[in-house]
């Protein structure tokens, strides 16, 4: 589609060897000021750009990091609440280090359930490291990456190993924040809609929430803990059940904003008001939170932080430290809106 001149062409025009040209781009401090300028000038003039494939072949480093996000072939409809924010931040932070993001599709040579389907893609493309955006399931294909000792950083997934680390929000702290806020608002009977059993962030949110309640001497009955799946409908269903309780809770903490919106819907459909009859607080601070009346009070996650922290952890591992960086915990904060 266009002609790009090669290192040989550039070397010829400058009257130097290709080795020298290569050094100008890789170890400039080792070549004389004079030839460096000459080469750089000519490179700009003829529009020379080093060919990454050739570079990768020679060095075994591709300057590409793989992105694995949509890992579970059994859950195709799954949507991340703030994928776009993460991608923007991650892309920006990586490109500052000259790294590009390759979205890893399952290798076509592997079947849908093949645990090597991502690893194969990683190997073929010489990807330097991988960022994993978990979807809440434990996919063996993700674990296979760790086993192969690919540098990995996972988001919201407890992922450790000789070449693995992870980034997560302070979910327990966020749960505590939610409880403290409702308590401060005077509530003494508080229910919660939690995430699926086995979901780690959900468990942490619940743990922090429970802790703060206990510390305040407020009981949490088993019947006031209902499980959802993070989607709207489950929040609606859970709230419907909670409204049947007698006495009825005066406030509810949902472990995700979508479920919180579903809860608000159920409360309204029951002819009750938010926050007067039942207050609602969510988790995530997704876009809808600000849009749905009366405005959802929620615990916000540092969305951009996920991207930048992931890039930093990965950079550290690529720099070849002996041990992987410690997991990063991003702070959570309270956002007050109309629902509490």
Partner DNA sequence: CTGAAAGCGCTTACAG
Contacting residues toward its own copies, per CB under 8 A: 1-2, 4, 49-54, 56-57, 62, 64, 67, 70, 76, 79-80, 83-84, 87-88, 91-92, 94-96, 98, 100-106, 108-109, 120-121, 123-126, 148-151, 163, 232, 258, 261, 265, 268, 287-288, 290-293
| Residue with smaller CB distance to its own copies, 62 or 204 | 62
Pick what 62 binds: its own copies, DNA, none; C-beta below 5 to 8 Å, kind-dependent: its own copies
Pick what 220 binds: its own copies, DNA, none; C-beta below 5 to 8 Å, kind-dependent: none
Minimum Å distance from CB 189 to its own copies?
Answer: 26
Beta-ladder partners of 193 = 226, 254
Beta-ladder partners of 253 = 192, 281
Minimum Å distance from CB 91 to its own copies?
Answer: 5
Q: Return the SS3 of 267.
A: helix
Pick what 31 binds: DNA, its own copies, none; C-beta below 5 to 8 Å, kind-dependent: DNA
Measure the CA–CA gap between 5 and 2, rounded to whole angstroms: 10
Q: Which of 172, 199, 138, 196 is nearest to 283 (CA)?
A: 172
Measure the CA–CA gap between 303 and 156, rounded to whole angstroms: 12
Minimum Å distance from CB 161 to its own copies?
Answer: 12
Chain residues in the site for DNA (CB under 7 A): 6-8, 15-20, 22-23, 25-26, 29-35, 48-51, 54-55, 57-59
Minimum Å distance from CB 50 to DNA?
Answer: 4
Minimum Å distance from CB 49 to its own copies?
Answer: 5
Write the CA distances from 135 to 14, 78, 81, 219, integer angstroms: 53, 7, 10, 32
Measure the CA–CA gap between 330 and 136, rounded to whole angstroms: 18
Q: Which of 230, 227, 240, 333 is nearest to 278 (CA)?
A: 240
């Amino acid at each position: 589609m266009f002609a790009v001149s090669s290192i040989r062409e550039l070397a010829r025009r400058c009257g130097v060897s290709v080795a020298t040209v290569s050094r100008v781009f890789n170890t400039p401090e080792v070549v004389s000021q004079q030839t460096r300028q000459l080469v750089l000038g000519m490179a700009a003039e003829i529009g020379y750009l080093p060919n990454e494939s050739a570079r990768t072949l020679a060095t075994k480093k591709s300057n590409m990091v793989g992105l694995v996000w949509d890992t579970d072939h059994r859950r195709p409809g799954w949507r991340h609440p703030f994928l776009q924010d993460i991608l923007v931040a991650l892309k920006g932070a990586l490109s500052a280090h000259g790294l590009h993001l390759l979205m890893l599709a399952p290798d076509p040579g592997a079947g849908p359930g093949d645990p090597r389907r991502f690893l194969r893609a990683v190997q073929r493309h010489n990807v330097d490291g991988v960022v994993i955006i978990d979807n809440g399931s434990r996919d063996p294909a993700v674990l296979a990456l760790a086993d192969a000792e690919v540098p990995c950083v996972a988001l919201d997934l407890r992922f450790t190993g000789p070449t693995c680390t992870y980034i997560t929000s302070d979910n327990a702290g966020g749960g505590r924040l939610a409880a403290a806020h409702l308590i401060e608002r005077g509530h003494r009977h508080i229910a919660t809609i939690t995430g699926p059993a086995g979901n780690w962030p959900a468990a942490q949110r619940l743990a922090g929430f429970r802790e703060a309640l206990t510390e305040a001497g407020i009981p949490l009955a088993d019947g006031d803990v209902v499980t959802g799946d993070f989607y709207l409908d489950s929040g609606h269903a859970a709230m419907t059940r909670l409204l049947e309780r007698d006495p009825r809770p005066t406030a509810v903490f949902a472990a995700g904003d979508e479920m919180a919106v579903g809860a608000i819907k159920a409360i309204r459909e029951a002819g009750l008001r938010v926050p007067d009859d039942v207050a609602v607080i969510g988790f995530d601070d997704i876009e809808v939170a600000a849009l749905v009346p009366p405005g959802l009070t929620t615990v916000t996650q540092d969305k951009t932080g996920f991207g930048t922290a992931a890039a930093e952890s990965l950079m550290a591992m690529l720099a070849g430290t002996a041990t992987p960086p410690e997991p990063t915990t991003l702070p959570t904060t309270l956002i007050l809106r109309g629902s509490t």
